[in-house]
Amino acid sequence: MRISDITTYPVWVGSKNQLLVKVETDDGVYGWGESGLSTRELAVAGAIKHYREFLLGRDPFNIGALWQKMYRSQYFEGGRVLTAAISAIDIALHDIKGKALGVPVYQLLGGKHRDLVPCFVTTGSPGPDIVERVQKLIDEGWTAIRTVPAMPSHPDRPDAAGAASSSRLFEPRESIAETAKWLVTLRAAVGPEPVLGIDYHHRLSVAETASFCQRMPAGTLDFLEEPIRDEAPEAYEALRKMTGVPFALGEEFSSKWQFLPYIERGITNFARVDVCNVGGLTEAMKVAGWCEAHYIDLMPHNPLGPICTAASIHLAAAIPNFAWLETFPARDASPGQADDLFPVRPILNGTHFRVPDAPGLGVEVDEKLAAQGEFRFAEFPHYRRRDGSHTNW
């Protein structure tokens, strides 16, 4: 069996693009992968075209060696574009191997530790209805719930550029004051049992994050996700000394080397591995083993489509140190357009996914629909402060 073709399908699904990747073999067995790096899909597709040139004719079973070949095939190794491309191909190769051997992908990773993959759910920004919204989720059976920052908006106080709308404004101090107030209210209302976390999406500084944590009693939050950017582990080390709230970090990390200081220095408490960005299942399993040695659970990032979800489920099944998988019920339970494009895909069962037993990933794509699909240039929000300066989304 040899690799005979690699095709990319950057296609708009629901509210954003997905970069689907098909790897074919001369035996007729094929596999599907998905790349992360949302809003930069064409850059990743370009990298995959380069990799295709020297992967044709290779044995798709030699997944680890092909990973090394892709990673080391250029002088400028690594980087998010390249590892996103490697991720998609690596996932597709695991799909091929599982199908060819007649086993689910988790069997290639050492077998399964669990039959069910528990998930956490995300609700909107804290506000007057936060208790009602979270209580509804608790009544539905959710035990791990994440919120997002409050985004105070003051149309009567336009930004420095005089924009008519303030929807793209983000002022950290206003946000942390509002968010902390409602999180304290929420914890008091729902009690100590539910797991409560928040994703600040690297919008704060060290001082702002410390101030945010200090505004809440101990035990309010079970995890704080990505409060500051990850480029400087030393900044997170400084923050670690200022708060006891557990950190959930790593969704932007594109290799085991990026995880290194966060694992070895005890900076993170949950590893937000993104299988479609970190280097696929090959690299994710190495990160998982490293985390296990330091008593860190994985809490995979899963913001994309059914292929990412399926690969994350197999990863979750194959490791002992697992907490929750990110999920969005509206997408994973009744995704609309995805029903046609992905006729076979994981379906959320209440608050968990059942680990599949079908060969490969357990995902199929309607390739004709994918080929007919539209790619749309799209951007995540570009936030600014009131003084007109740019800040993180």
Q: What is the pLDDT of residues 269-284, one digit of tens each?
A: 999 999 999 999 999 9
Could you give the CA distance from residue 93 to residue 366 in angstroms, rounded to a whole number?
A: 19
Could you give the CA distance from residue 329 to residue 55 in angstroms, rounded to a whole number?
A: 37
Give pLDDT, residue 331. 83
User: pLDDT (tens digit, 9 = 90+) per residue, 305-322?
Assistant: 999 999 999 999 999 999
Residue tagged 């080390």 (tokens): 237
Domains present along the chain, CATH in parentheses: 3-104 (3.30.390.10), 108-358 (3.20.20.120)
Give pLDDT, residue 163. 40
Give pLDDT, residue 156. 40
Q: How many CA atoms lie within 13 A of 237 on its CB side?
A: 10
pLDDT at 139 over 90: yes
For 191, residues 6+ apart whose C-beta sits below 8 A from its C-beta are none
Give pLDDT, residue 337. 60
Give pLDDT, residue 153. 63
Report residue 334's pLDDT band, with 50, 70 and 90 as the boundaries. Answer: low
Could you give the CA distance from residue 46 to residue 31 in angstroms, rounded to a whole number?
A: 19
**Mean of the pLDDT values across residues 75-88?**
93
Give pLDDT, residue 162. 40
- CB atoms closer than 10 angstroms to residue 23: 26
Burial letters for 51-89: b for 16+ Cβ neighbours within 10 Å, e otherwise? bbeebeebebbebeebbeebbeeeeeebebbbbbbbbbb
Tokens describing residue 80: 């998010």
Give pLDDT, residue 165. 41
357, containing H or E segment: none
User: pLDDT (tens digit, 9 = 90+) per residue, 234-275?
Assistant: 999 999 999 999 999 999 999 999 999 999 999 999 999 999
More confident residue, 168 or 98: 98
Report residue 339's pLDDT band, with 50, 70 and 90 as the boundaries. Answer: confident
What does pLDDT average to over the chain?
A: 94
Choose among 234, 244, 294, 304: nearest CA to 274: 304
Give pLDDT, residue 56. 98
Give, in order, the Cα–Cα distances in Å from 47 to each of 38, 77, 93, 256, 321.
Answer: 15, 12, 17, 20, 32
**Mean of the pLDDT values across residues 136-150?**
97
Tokens describing residue 208: 């702002």
Give pLDDT, residue 332. 82
Tokens describing residue 166: 């303030």
> Beta strand 116-122 with 223-225: parallel, antiparallel or unpaired?
unpaired
Give pLDDT, residue 157. 42
Residue tagged 């390249």 (tokens): 82
Give pLDDT, residue 335. 55
**Mean of the pLDDT values across residues 201-230?**
97
Report residue 78's pLDDT band, with 50, 70 and 90 as the boundaries. Answer: confident
User: pLDDT (tens digit, 9 = 90+) per residue, 23-53?
Assistant: 999 999 999 999 999 999 999 999 999 999 9
Tokens describing residue 289: 């083993």
pLDDT at 195 over 50: yes
Q: Where are the beta strands (DSSP E) in 173-320?
A: 195-199, 223-225, 247-249, 270-271, 297-298
